[in-house]
Structure 1
Amino acid sequence: MRFRAIHALAAVCLLAGLSPAAAQDARDDESEQELELETVTVVATRQPRSLSEVAGTITVLDAERIERDVALDIEDLVRYEPGVDVDGGGTRFGFGGFRIRGLGGSRTAIVIDNVPAADRFTVGNFADSGRGLLELGLVSRVEILRGPASTIYGSKALGGVVAVSLLEAEDLLFGQPRATRIDLAGGGENNRFRTTAAHAMRSGDWSGVLAASVQTADELDVAGLPESMAEDRLDRDQGAFVFRAGRNTDLGRIRLTLDGIREERESDLRALLGTGRFRNTTSLAGDDRRHQWRVLLDHHFDRIGPVDRGQWRLWHQVTDTSQQTDESRPLAATPVDLFRRFDFRQENTGLGADFESELRFAGFRHRIGYGFEVVQSDLEQQRFATQTNLETGALTTTVLGERFPLRDFPRTEVTEAGMYLFDEILLWPGGPTLSPGARFEYYELDSEPDPLFTSAFPDAEIVDLDTTAWAPRVGLVWPMSNSLDVFFQFARGFRSPPFEDVNIGLDIPQFGIRAIPNPDLEPERGHTLETGIRYRTGSTMLDLAVFRNRFKDFIDTRALVGFDPATGVLLFQSINRDRVEIEGAELRARRALGYGFDLELAAEWTRGEDRSTDRSLAGISPPQAIAALSYAPTPDWEIRFITTATRTQRQLEDEQGDPLFSAPGSTVFDLTGQWRITPELSLSAGVFNLTDKRWFNHANVINRPPGDPVLPLLAEPGRNVRATLGWRF
């Protein structure tokens, strides 16, 4: 599928819109229930819009949807969202972030109440800061924007945006002066249990909410695990809170938010023992802790001077990761115990604002959006290790040729500043809306060398960066009839080189590998063409979109670039790939069948290639289709039967042409239900993987060789039950 597919779809949409059949409103059978026709979204423009007004593909997951899917974590959240995945961190480290249309990591922006989430940093096998610090029990809404959104969100939105909204008092009060909510949830796939309590109150112009959630879990009970295989063990504890207070004034609503989350994971890693570099290892244990807290002050207002709607925000956020690994090698020629520690800290301070003004000019109605955001991030990392000789008791801080303590990158300060402007122009009443826009962004990376880095890597060339970029976009939404809209967008995105790609200094002499900085690394640049249709009647919903992304100077992190001729050491360096292309199609449909029955369908197909090597991109998920048949004879209860079919992943290769593991195809069946026992008490439950099938989520096995001993543990859970019980009073 090339540009001709996009043009063909646009032509079909235009012809359909001009035909009498499409223009005629559908007539519903008296027995058919009506579907909700409009959903309000904020992520596309940072101002409220109906989905029909947006030139792009957006999914809104509200509290009702989260409860309906019995979602207890972010992987559950997108289980039924083809084209959206969550990167796994193996059996130890947890989630790494979202992947949209094959692009993950720092190419997908995650914002929580419009505040950017912390970055992820990984190095070696024993250090991964992750990016999954989110407690769904404290979330009221999640919006997913597919495709480049750099015009509004800057350089980290090359692949898309996941926008999360935490609980507010209004989510509980519903016009009452005070309200309380208690939720109990559990899942059998990893013996997890979650308790959430929230209390909200209103007094005059003041309102506030205090909520907390505690969750515990063990390792996953995966399907089809061989009896002879040692299973990794995991004990996980997580706690989170949010406090939010606001006051309504003549100048709008001023709000203060304090929130925090901490996670502790203790792991006993058994699957690797006796294999490869761990052939002499008899014990491998991890103790990982992550803490994050944030303070946010924001102000939402209407009609101040020329601004019809607006909001500004000021925040400070701190994320700390500390990971310890204990390894015992009594079977080695020289028996030793190894201790490793990894620390990573990121502090973010930011100020942002978004405004909207409506006016008429030159005979057209304009909705002009404009704003800015400035974020300063301070990043610091350190590794420490010791080796103890079990025969002599001698202790050394030189392990595998590395001398500790050390830093893998110098202390770094990153400043990102951007401003944007867009205009939604109604060309004529009831006609198309044209929305051109652009963003200017400034990116500065300042490195602060210190003895821990320079002593470990005296020959490393430390680089500072100072770059600017423009991100234009143009969209068009054309209502062909009361039921049919056609949209088109062209968007240009960019991604500034991340700190870990610029000044990495990893060097492990015993393994003969070294990662070197790249002072000539260029920002990634890409553009997207997307077009689609949205069809709505009282009983039918259809969304169809096709897209093509082309990227230039795509950053390949720590790619193998050759050998050092002087030492024979393997050299790794982050480099720019000449050209990468991703294209695909997405379909979502829903039909009210009548008499309480409802049918939903979602499907996606995506293909990605590195044009410089003609290899498929490993991060692209295989084609997938999801069908759900629901029965809800009354508003008080519903039952759903869901089928998820995934095609076998095409054969993948690494940089040397060696095969990578390709996830086999699968068909998985789930059964979920909801019961509103009383107006105050509700129950949601599900039986997942009804046939106890062994299957893999592609995002959890990216870039793993076929013989990786951990692969069996990365399979998805077998038959399991999840349930939530909610009490509101």
Structure 2
Amino acid sequence: MSKPRTQFRRTAIARGVLLACGGPLLASPLLADPAPRELDLTVVESESIERDAVVDVITLQDISAEQIDNADDLVRYIPGVSVSRGDDRWGASGFNIRGLDEDRVAINVDGVPQGETLKYESGQAYGYFKGSRNGVDVEALKAVEIVKGADALFSGSGALAGAVNMTTKDPDDYLAPEGDDWGLGLKSAYSSENDETMATISAANRTGALESLLVYTWRGGHEFENHDMDGADIEGSAREVPDPQDRELNSVLGKLIYELSPGQEVGLVGSYYDRNTETDTRSYNGGWYHDRVGDDTNTVTRYGLFYNLEHETALFDTLSAAVNRQDNELEAITRQRAQFFIPPFFSSNENRVDNRSYDQELLQVTLDLEKTVGDHRLIYGLELQDKDYRNSQFRSSDDLNDDVVEWETENLGALVPRAEAEVYTLYGQDTFALGERTQLRLGLRYDDYSYDASADDNFPDQTGTLGTIGFDALTWTVGVEQAFSDHLSLEAGVSTGFRAPTVEEMYRTSGTQDDWNAVANPDLDAETSTNYDIALVGDYGLGSYRVGLFYSEYDDFIEYQDFEGINSNTGQPDPNGYQMPVNSDEVEMKGLELSATLDLSAALGLRDGLSTRFLAAYTEGEEANGDPVYSVQPPSAVWRLNYDSPRGNWGMQFVTSYTQGKKDGDSYSTEADGERLYPLYRSNTATVFDLVAYVDVIDNLRLVAGVYNLGDKEYYAWDSVRFIDQGDLRPGIGVTDNGIRRYSEPGRNFELSLNYQF
């Protein structure tokens, strides 16, 4: 859903989280931008949309103070939330919240949903292709909501376990509240963990009724380091250091806003995100592959028109309408020499250039309204989406067995057909009071999906499964907040989510009529979830706390299952069979989340400026057959100690992060014969220390310096190693010997940043 640019949608439970987790810290100068003006965004008591999910809010001040450069940094200090990763070439592919990841966590930028993944197994195993969902640079953002729990009502499809909702900057983030004004921001940073240099320039202006903003960011760097960059720098799967990379990113955000009259404005927004990564994939060299280099480009463009009106009518008090067009293009080029000899089947010795692309286009129209009637706060609206999907795969090769240099191009066929989708959404929520200490929320959402795919030369319909597929989803939410006193309250909510099947799950086929590898299933249903949250929240003079429990049920999970095939030539069963996505049985999750803050200065009778904060999360999941859910993160906790000088011109924070290692009992799958299959690699228990300090060198010029992993701990994140398949014995693929070391987290590293605003 789109939202007014001046309104930050914070839930009632989120306000509890902010008060419990960040009360003293939100007011801390360490989290304040060096600009002389504060953003309305930081005002906890501001108007908000209330929903039945737990929300952590990352502000513009946090991005600056915590030196947040990427998706990993966004959730670095949020227990129970991580970034889903693959190998070094593809990097992040989404977020992991409460044990579920990738397409099961919605990602929205200014209410616009981001792309879906395309991650067929052989493409990942052979390092050819993996679709990406992230297409925004953090320097273009002023706020990020990390929503924990099902949130279909406001986050849409994919919000089964949660959502990541991002809001881009506005001109008035740099300008005075009224009158003609201008603002300029310059920021530069260097990070040793990937040798990255970053530069950002932001310019804003208000002349009369017209406001404008332009934010440009450039990043250039290399591969992310592992713990020991002095490890074996060799070719092949035993390589101990990351594959060399060159990274470059260009990001542009622009906005024009014209005030038609007091309370009425119209605006234009445009954004451009272009990331190029060139990877010398030395860990794949050897055996079948030699001299392999990956050249990958992810380009996301968006332009839109929005209209905001504040005017009391019979239907609404505020109205927000928006039209957005977004194009997400991913191109993966792999250059290599391939050499095979498997007698008597085939032999090959050739130069190859593989070009694979995935293009997702979106046209979105939204209308959001809000109306207060007595004690009732009504929020309702509609959304229309038109999506278009295109994929292609081409291979150019030159046979090195002869002396003729003659490149031939082969169409490998698309992974998915050309497809279109139309989505219609209606939603509404009513928040109202029952007496002085009780508040209720009731919400309802309806989505109607229609997909259409047809055959062409790039994707022939060999299985007869292409065509029109339609389904709908009805989701709802119920919540209650009961205050026992001015300092103690109970919050409880039930929320639901859904995830529409991806184009890959509905239409992808591979193989031949004689030997299918994967067959599409046009009868898939949407995945659904029901989430129960209950929390005790206390807010006192010296600090605050929150103790929360959650339980989630997931139905109709889409998973690939093995089926026995029939060879059309012999009419006999095919022992290899094929895979097909199906809706599986129920999955359950449950967990505990803790947070607390304390004003140490007040508690100890010291000078103002000293505070502390603690957060922890525990999650466990169980599939229908009793196996643990593989993607669940191990228990983790974060403790902060923060000091700010009385003048607010210098300060520091010391952060301790603890993560428990993944245990055997939490990471196995049961084979058909009852045997348990355990992962070859698991994450280890780790306690990591970070120290970040700031000082105002001169007025409006702030230097921030951070040292991360102070103790130089060698550790492995579960989301970095869990994808490694212990049964994959193909030459040049996977991990052998001490090759797992290249997936360790960075050792001791530092970052410096300078931010000047005037």
TM-score tier (shorter)? 0.7 to 0.9
Contact 1:35 1:540 in 2 (8 A): no
- TM-score calculated relative to the size of structure 1: 0.88
Aligned partners of 1:492, 1:252: CA distance in 2, in Å? Answer: 34
Contact 1:182 1:198 in 2 (8 A): yes
Per-residue CA deviations over 1:330-371 (Å, capped at 9, x if unaligned) read 5856422232110111110010111111112xxxx1111111
TM-superposed CA distance for 1:35, in Å, is: 6.9
Letter in 2 for 1:671: L
**Alignment-derived partner of residue 653 in structure 1:** 668
Aligned partners of 1:608, 1:395: CA distance in 2, in Å? Answer: 55
1:690-705 matched pairs, under 5 angstroms: 690-705=710-725
TM-superposed CA distance for 1:549, in Å, is: 0.6
Q: Secondary structure at the match of 1:528?
A: strand
Contact 1:184 1:194 in 2 (8 A): yes
Per-residue CA deviations over 1:568-603 (Å, capped at 9, x if unaligned) read 334122121111011111111111100322111111
Aligned partners of 2:718, 2:328: CA distance in 1, in Å? Answer: 28
Aligned partners of 1:180, 1:509: CA distance in 2, in Å? Answer: 62
1:302-451 matched pairs, under 5 angstroms: 302-306=310-314, 307-329=316-338, 334-360=348-374, 365-392=375-402, 393=404, 404-428=411-435, 430-451=436-457
TM-superposed CA distance for 1:640, in Å, is: 1.3
Unmatched 5+ residue regions in structure 2? Answer: 1-19, 29-37, 235-240, 342-346, 567-571, 602-606, 728-733
Unmatched 5+ residue regions in structure 1? Answer: 1-25, 27-31
**Alignment-derived partner of residue 297 in structure 2:** 289
Change (3 A) 1:467 1:280: closer
Q: Secondary structure at the match of 1:156?
A: coil
Q: Secondary structure at the match of 2:174?
A: helix
Q: 2:244 pairs with 222, 233, 248, which one?
A: 233
Aligned partners of 2:378, 2:41: CA distance in 1, in Å? Answer: 15
**Alignment-derived partner of residue 633 in structure 2:** 621
Per-residue CA deviations over 1:163-207 (Å, capped at 9, x if unaligned) read 111111111113460010000011001100110001101111111
Per-residue CA deviations over 1:618-653 (Å, capped at 9, x if unaligned) read 111000011111222331111111111111112223
Contact 2:564 2:575 in 1 (8 A): no
Aligned partners of 1:229, 1:517: CA distance in 2, in Å? Answer: 42
Q: 2:621 pairs with 600, 605, 608, which one?
A: 608
Letter in 2 for 1:607: E
**Alignment-derived partner of residue 23 in structure 1:** none
Identity percentage over the alignment? 24
1:518 aligns with 2:527: no
Aligned partners of 1:57, 1:141: CA distance in 2, in Å? Answer: 16
TM-superposed CA distance for 1:77, in Å, is: 1.3
Contact 1:210 1:244 in 2 (8 A): yes
Change (3 A) 1:33 1:525: closer
Change (3 A) 1:377 1:54: closer
**Alignment-derived partner of residue 5 in structure 1:** none
Change (3 A) 1:694 1:120: same
Letter in 2 for 1:727: Y
Change (3 A) 1:394 1:569: farther
**Alignment-derived partner of residue 664 in structure 1:** 684
Q: Secondary structure at the match of 2:575?
A: coil
Letter in 1 for 2:273: I
1:553-592 matched pairs, under 5 angstroms: 553-556=556-559, 558-562=560-564, 566-592=573-599
Q: Secondary structure at the match of 1:713?
A: helix
Aligned partners of 1:249, 1:228: CA distance in 2, in Å? Answer: 64
Letter in 2 for 1:173: L
**Alignment-derived partner of residue 80 in structure 2:** 83
Q: Secondary structure at the match of 2:139?
A: helix
**Structure 1 residues 601-610 or 108-117, which shifts more?**
108-117
**Structure 1 residues 216-225 or 189-198, which shifts more?**
216-225
**Paired residue total:** 677
Contact 2:153 2:445 in 1 (8 A): yes
**Structure 1 residues 708-717 or 178-187, which shifts more?**
708-717
Per-residue CA deviations over 1:46-88 (Å, capped at 9, x if unaligned) read x96469x654311111011111211111111110011111111
Q: Secondary structure at the match of 1:614?
A: coil
Q: Secondary structure at the match of 1:578?
A: coil
Letter in 1 for 2:432: I
Letter in 2 for 1:475: G
1:45-84 matched pairs, under 5 angstroms: 49=47, 55-84=52-81
TM-superposed CA distance for 1:706, in Å, is: 5.1
Change (3 A) 1:54 1:36: farther
TM-superposed CA distance for 1:544, in Å, is: 2.0
**Structure 1 residues 415-424 or 217-226, which shifts more?**
217-226
Give the RMSD, CA atoms, in angstroms. Answer: 2.7
**Alignment-derived partner of residue 11 in structure 2:** none
**Alignment-derived partner of residue 8 in structure 1:** none
Letter in 1 for 2:111: N
Change (3 A) 1:151 1:308: same
1:78-477 matched pairs, under 5 angstroms: 78-123=75-120, 124-125=123-124, 126-175=128-177, 177-224=181-228, 227-230=231-234, 231=241, 232-250=243-261, 252-274=264-286, 279-306=287-314, 307-329=316-338, 334-360=348-374, 365-392=375-402, 393=404, 404-428=411-435, 430-454=436-460, 458-477=462-481
Contact 2:553 2:588 in 1 (8 A): yes
Contact 1:57 1:545 in 2 (8 A): no
Letter in 1 for 2:104: R
Per-residue CA deviations over 1:97-153 (Å, capped at 9, x if unaligned) read 122112222221111111111222223131112112221111111111111111223
